[in-house]
Every structure is written in C-alpha cells, then in structure tokens.
Amino acid sequence: MRCDYCPLCPRDDICPESENNYGIEYKNGEYGCKHPRNWVDKRNEEHDEYYSNMGIDMGIEMSMTKSELERAIVICKHMVGLDYQNPYIRHGKRFYKPYRNYYESPLEGNRILDLLPSYIVRRKMTKLSIWYELTEEGLSWLGRQAKIIIK
C-alpha cells in the first residue's frame, strides 16, 4: 500500500507504517496513514539529527588516526572533568554535568586538539598560553563518543 499523505514515505516507495493498523483507504481510492502530524515531524527531526551527527563523527574519524582520536577523546574528557568524576545514572541513562570546560597548553599549542575542527573546539590565545574549550557541538560529540549525555 502506498502512503500518499505521509511525508515519511517517498512518492515511489511503500510506507511500512501504512500497511499495519495505521493504514487507511480514503473515499477516492488513495491510501494513506493515520499518523499525527507532530509525530511525523518529530520522527523526521530525530532522523535528520541522527544523520548529521553521524556525518560529524565520520568526518572527525577520517581526519585523524585511531591513536590520535583516542588521545583527543582522553584530553576532551579531562577538559570537562570527566576523568575525575563519574557520570550519574538515571532511568538507565548516564548523565554528566561538567564542572569545567577548559584546557591550557603552551604557546606551541596542542597538536591533537589542533586537528579537531573549530566547531568542536574553540581556541583562545593569551600572551603565555593557548586555552581550549569545547563548544556545545563539541560537548555533544564527546557525549556520543563516551556514550553519555553531557548537559
């Protein structure tokens, strides 16, 4: 059954949701589904966010070697204090509230953190050192790598 009214379904494909108890046949003979519009929009948004996060993760993984990526994750965990405090568990999910978000290195900079893109790590130069901090996107990237939710 082809779903003519559901935006989840491409026009030339079959909507898997319209074939079970959500399917409906209209008076004019066309088929569709009974999903509420807000459910469809929420599902589309989650789908788009999943693919954008996957693209960010793959781009970072492709620009670094495996050992550099592991070292970058260790430094970023230290940057937010995740190496000293453990995340708390609520409803089966792991959460962490960072108590800091900075890392200092000498004027030469950190070779590993310099490989990360600017939308993940923000750099600030001072007279004596370079300060690094994770952006909001960087915190969500670190959360995906550590399999926790960082707020």
pLDDT of residue 9: 63
**Tens-digit pLDDT profile for residues 21-46:** 667 777 776 666 777 777 777 887 88
Smallest CA-to-CA distance from 16 within 29, 3, 35 is with 3
User: pTM of the predicted model, to two decimals?
Assistant: 0.75
The partner residues of 93 in beta bridges, in order of sequence, read 90
Handedness of CA 75, 76, 79, 80 (dihedral sign): negative
- What residues does each domain of the chain span? 65-150
pLDDT of residue 1: 43
Contact 18, 9 (CB under 8 A): yes
Rg (CA), the chain: 22
Which residues does the chain have with pLDDT short of 50?
A: 1-2
DSSP string, 41-90: HHHHHHHHHHHHHHHHHHHHHHHS-HHHHHHHHHHHHHHHTTTTSPPEEE
